[in-house]
């Protein structure tokens, strides 16, 4: 198997959704599943961030009159549906279904068009970057794929091939991110933002529990479970 990673970088004002990420550094969106064929795309995204960031995310990402994927134009005339499957104060899980993807030039469409069946896709959006990772059978024309995507980028967008490697195992970071529940994500993000992992610590479990309006025992349990998952995956990755 071969793995490559493309990074699309956005200048300020080039994309309304990516401007929300710029305005709210806490906002992060990872896909746990993304599938596409020559006519449709369906995916699961997990968003996390501050309450203010999530409000702006809802307003922009869930607007079905605009496109969150288009590389060649801010919007395209395709059918799209968004369903919020889980809603937390600092997190969302969103199912997306899009039709007529051949009319909307996006990274998943280009991958399927050039690589063909068998590609596995994951993505991560934060700050001004939309990072795509693909796992696919060997001896595929990645250079042609890069050129095809780059040729369709509108003004304000740039493309970089982050890496191209042989791979039989995806990163511990990606595996761990998908194992954590929205509640665990929320707890970790609140802990980091409040300085729980600073030395000396700038907050306590009790204060985190109060901020998230949960019992102290619940906060402690979520932190411990999340930390156990992270440590286990990163140690496993090093073996």
Q: pLDDT higher for 223 or 104?
A: 223
- The domain ranges of the chain are 2-168, 173-238
Work out the average pLDDT over 97-105: 75
CA distance 188 to 75: 34
- What does the pLDDT look like over 22-49, one tens digit per residue? 999 889 998 878 888 777 888 999 998 8
Is the pLDDT assigned to residue 63 strictly greater than 80? yes
Span 127-183, pLDDT tens digits: 999 999 888 776 666 788 889 899 989 999 999 987 665 555 555 555 566 667 778
| pTM of the complete model beyond 0.85 | no
The pLDDT assigned to 238 comes to 44
Q: What is the pLDDT of residues 192-207, one digit of tens each?
A: 888 998 888 999 999 9
3-state SS of 20-77 is HHHHCCCCEEEEEEEEECCCEEEEEEEEECCHHHHHHHHHHHCCCCCCCCCCCCCCCC
Q: What is the pLDDT of residues 66-85, one digit of tens each?
A: 888 888 876 677 788 999 99
**Please, is 108 exposed, middle or buried when counting C-beta atoms within 10 Å of its C-beta (0-12, 13-18, 19+)?**
buried
Q: What percent of the chain has pLDDT over 70?
A: 86
The total number of residues shown for the chain amounts to 239
Tokens of 136: 């696919």
Q: Tell me which of 94 and 133 has the higher pLDDT.
A: 94
Cβ atoms of 78 and 67 closer than 8 Å? yes
pLDDT score of 144 = 85
Integer angstrom CA distances of residue 70 from 130, 139, 145, 162, 168 = 12, 27, 16, 20, 30
């Amino acid at each position: 198997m071969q793995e490559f990673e493309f990074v699309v970088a956005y200048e300020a004002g080039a994309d309304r959704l990516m401007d929300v990420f710029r305005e709210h550094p806490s906002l992060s969106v990872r896909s746990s599943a993304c599938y596409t064929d020559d006519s449709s795309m369906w995916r699961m995204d997990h968003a996390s961030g501050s309450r203010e960031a999530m409000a702006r995310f809802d307003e922009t990402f869930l607007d079905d009159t605009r496109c969150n994927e288009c590389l060649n134009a801010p919007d395209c005339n395709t059918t799209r549906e968004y369903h919020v499957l889980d809603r937390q104060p600092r997190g969302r899980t969103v199912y997306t279904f899009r039709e007529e993807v051949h009319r909307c030039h996006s990274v998943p469409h280009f991958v399927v068009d050039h690589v063909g069946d068998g590609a596995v896709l994951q993505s991560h959006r934060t700050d001004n970057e939309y990072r795509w990772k693909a796992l696919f059978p060997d001896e595929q024309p990645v250079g042609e794929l890069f050129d095809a995507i780059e040729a369709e980028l509108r003004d304000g967008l740039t493309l970089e091939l982050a890496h191209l490697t042989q791979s039989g195992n995806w990163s511990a970071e990606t595996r761990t991110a998908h194992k954590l529940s929205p509640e665990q994500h929320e707890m970790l993000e609140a802990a980091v933002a409040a300085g729980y992992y600073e030395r000396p610590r700038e907050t306590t479990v009790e204060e985190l529990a109060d901020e998230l309006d949960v019992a102290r025992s619940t906060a402690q349990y979520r932190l411990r479970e999340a930390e156990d998952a992270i440590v286990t995956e990163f140690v496993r990755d090093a073996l």
